[in-house]
């Protein structure tokens, strides 16, 4: 409990520092001015999302290899948290695009592949809700999760391979790309803050899945004891 409170406190401080740095310390961008500061939360959301979905991918492969339920719990926890990060990115994107591009949304390669990614992981979560039997649910969703992850490199590469309305990458984008050193440090702080939030939420979500499993096992035990006591009662009467 103390450790959880301490980590929540550290993350809260990081969020405050990241907000202050993004709004007041980062230098003004030459063409977009203040609105460019959305970049610090926008990119941080995508980095958190890529981390969460990579974790889902690893957990899905590990589940199929070992059939340990813990990997399934990690998979579903990561997928839900990844969808939350993706939603954050999909909200901040249009809020940045509107004053700069004059439109909220366009179906270019980057935006479309990202939207598809969001839909794929929502389908992953919906699919789990449709399957009753735990082993079957875990196996099928692991296969679907691996398939969904194929879109992640497509999202990453989309504005490198095609001409898009979305700007070309500023980090790891080859010659001509790069960030001002202060901007880089502020971005790093925002990414650390958002990853901290993501990990806190992920731990809680994983705990929820573990408890669900425990609950299901206990429920079955209660049920079998009830059936057992009923049959003993019937035998006693005959």
Partner 1 sequence: MKNFDNLFAAWMAVWAVFFLYEIFVSSRLARLRKDLDRLKEQLRQK
Q: Contact positions toward partner 1, by CB under 8 A? A: 15, 19, 22-23, 33-35, 37-38, 41-42, 44-45, 80-81, 84, 87-88, 91-92, 95-96, 98-99, 194, 197-198, 200-201, 204-205, 207-208, 211-212, 214-215, 218-219, 221-222, 225-226, 229
Structure tokens given for 82: 């990844």
* Residues 122, 159: Cα–Cα separation, whole Å: 24
| Cβ at position 105, least distance to partner 1 in Å | 14
Q: Which residues pair with 29 in a beta bridge?
A: 33
| Cβ at position 109, least distance to partner 1 in Å | 23
* Residues 80, 87: Cα–Cα separation, whole Å: 11
* Residues 179, 186: Cα–Cα separation, whole Å: 11
| Cβ at position 174, least distance to partner 1 in Å | 28
Q: Which is nearer to partner 1, 34 or 180 (CB)?
A: 34
- The helix or strand, by DSSP H or E, that contains position 105, with its residue range, turns out to be none
Q: Which is nearer to partner 1, 32 or 157 (CB)?
A: 32
| Cβ at position 66, least distance to partner 1 in Å | 25
Among 148, 222, 193, which Cα is nearest to 19's?
Answer: 193
Q: Which is nearer to partner 1, 41 or 73 (CB)?
A: 41
Fill in the DSSP letter of residue 1.
-
């Amino acid at each position: 409990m103390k450790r959880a409170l301490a980590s929540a406190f550290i993350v809260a401080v990081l969020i405050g520092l990241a907000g202050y740095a993004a709004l007041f310390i980062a230098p003004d961008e030459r063409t977009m001015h203040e609105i460019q500061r959305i970049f610090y939360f926008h990119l941080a959301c995508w980095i958190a999302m890529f981390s969460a979905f990579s974790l889902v991918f690893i957990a899905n492969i590990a589940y199929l290899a070992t059939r340990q339920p813990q990997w399934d719990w990690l998979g579903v926890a990561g997928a839900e948290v990844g969808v939350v990060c993706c939603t954050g990115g999909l909200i901040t994107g249009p809020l940045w695009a509107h004053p700069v591009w004059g439109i909220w949304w366009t179906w270019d390669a980057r935006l479309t592949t990202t939207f598809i990614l969001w839909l794929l992981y929502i389908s992953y979560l919906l699919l789990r809700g449709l399957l009753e039997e735990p082993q079957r649910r875990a196996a099928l969703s692991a296969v679907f999760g691996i398939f969904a992850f194929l879109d992640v490199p497509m999202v990453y590469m989309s504005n490198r391979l095609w001409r898009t309305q979305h700007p070309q990458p500023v980090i790891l984008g080859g010659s001509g790309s790069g960030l001002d050193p202060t901007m880089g440090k502020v971005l790093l702080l925002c990414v650390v803050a958002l990853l901290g939030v993501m990990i806190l939420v992920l731990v809680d979500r994983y705990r929820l899945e573990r408890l669900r499993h425990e609950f299901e096992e206990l429920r079955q035990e209660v049920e079998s004891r009830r059936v057992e006591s009923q049959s003993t009662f019937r035998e006693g009467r005959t």
